[in-house]
Chains A and B, each alone.
Chain A
Amino acid sequence: MIPDEKALVQRHKDDPFALIGINTDSDKNEYRKKCAEHGVTWRSSWQGSTEGPLPTLWNVSGYPTIFVLDATGKIRFKNVRGKRLDVAVALLLEELKAAK
């Protein structure tokens, strides 16, 4: 999963795009170490566990769980991964560009 996300972030580094993580690891130091190891550069909310406030409120029970939001903040795709995630992001960026 992480290599796909890295490629996605890299591909859209000059676009109005952001990948935001909601991280559910429990050990901050371990998390930082692994981020460096895997080249994870994107920002994540720190939840401390899968029972953290956001996963609880958003009723997230499987990982990863992905929401793709458009520029107005609407949920447009859910749980798309790999190539489908790439297509979803590209479509929304295209839509945004056309609207401007």
Chain B
Amino acid sequence: MTTRVFAALLLAATLLSAQGGSRFETLVSEFAKANNAWMQAMKAARSAGTPTAELPAPPTPEFATRFRTLSEENPGTEESGRALLWLFVNERSRDTEEQRKITAAHEALLDKLLSAHGDASFLEPLAQQCARMVSFRKEPNLRVLRALAEKNQSDAVRPWVLYGLGSVDANGATEATKASGRAQLKELCLKYPASEAAKAAMGTLFEAEHLGLGATPPDFETVDADGVAFKLSDYRGKVVVLDYWGFW
């Protein structure tokens, strides 16, 4: 799960860096450079056995200050909005107390972002992050998704909103809620078939339909690490523990 979260953040950061206004763009590429240098330094320090307290400090806090300044210079502009989004996605701290403060500040930042830029298509990384996270942590993800559902009609944002809200309902308490969740996910798959969100939604729909207790999952054919093919149905007649795992 941590890997997923990290991957989602990384993806969001990549998406952010791919577009944007000029000063924002410059800052993003400066950050990318500083962050790469930091990751290299961390790798070197780790393999040298440097104690945790002496590991190099990440560049994020310094850049957070610069992005914050940028966001406050011309409030309401797209550049300001993108800077707010950068903060929401990237700003964090190793220190628990510090992280608590940042999280609280982000709540306010989110309100600002949604009220000034709620209809912007550049909010896609936000929509994606919230949609992917909402099943692990309801708030503030659900609040963001609901706000976006109301305000944002962009083809970039909409699929993620449908995915996030649909998955929450698909795992809801009553049959009616579940059915409504599945309906939202189906709408997403039919309307935006090529989107990443639709790909994720197909997984959720498959799970709802085929992976409940008492369901018989469709057979699959696969290969092991030695390239030998086998099928799930090869094991009919046996009690089977199917274990999704990894050493990593």
Question: In whole angstroms, how far apart are the Cα atoms of A4 and B51 in the complex?
Answer: 33
* Smallest beta-carbon distance A33→chain B, Å: 9
CB-CB nearest in chain A for B225: A46
Q: Are A71 and B241 in contact (CB under 8 A)?
A: no
Q: Are B225 and A23 in contact (CB under 8 A)?
A: yes
List CB contacts (< 8 Å) of A31-48 with chain B: 31-32, 34, 38, 43-46
CB-CB nearest in chain A for B236: A73
| A87 interface residue per 8 A CB criterion | no
Q: Which residues of B contact A10 (CB under 8 A)?
A: none
Q: Which residues of A contact B241 (CB under 8 A)?
A: 5, 8, 17-20, 66-69, 85, 89
| B49 interface residue per 8 A CB criterion | no
Q: Which residues of A contact B238 (CB under 8 A)?
A: 16-18, 71
Q: Are B224 and A43 in contact (CB under 8 A)?
A: yes
Q: Are B211 and A62 in contact (CB under 8 A)?
A: no
B209-248 interface code vs A (CB 8 A; 1 in, 0 out): 0011111110010111100001011011111111111111
List CB contacts (< 8 Å) of A9-24 with chain B: 12, 15-24
Q: Are A21 and B245 in contact (CB under 8 A)?
A: yes
B contacts with A, residue count (CB < 8 A) = 39
Q: Are A75 and B225 in contact (CB under 8 A)?
A: no
CB-CB nearest in chain B for A9: B241
* Smallest beta-carbon distance B230→chain A, Å: 7
A20-B240, A30-B247, A61-B4 are contacts. A67–B224 as well, Cβ < 8 Å? no
CB-CB nearest in chain A for B207: A59
CB-CB nearest in chain B for A44: B224
* Smallest beta-carbon distance B245→chain A, Å: 4
Question: In whole angstroms, how far apart are the Cα atoms of A44 and B232 in the complex?
Answer: 11
| Sample of 28 A–B contacts (CB below 8 Å) | A1-B245, A17-B238, A17-B239, A20-B242, A24-B246, A28-B225, A31-B225, A34-B247, A45-B224, A46-B222, A46-B223, A50-B3, A58-B217, A59-B204, A61-B4, A61-B135, A66-B242, A68-B239, A69-B240, A69-B241, A71-B239, A72-B216, A72-B236, A73-B232, A75-B215, A78-B211, A78-B213, A92-B239
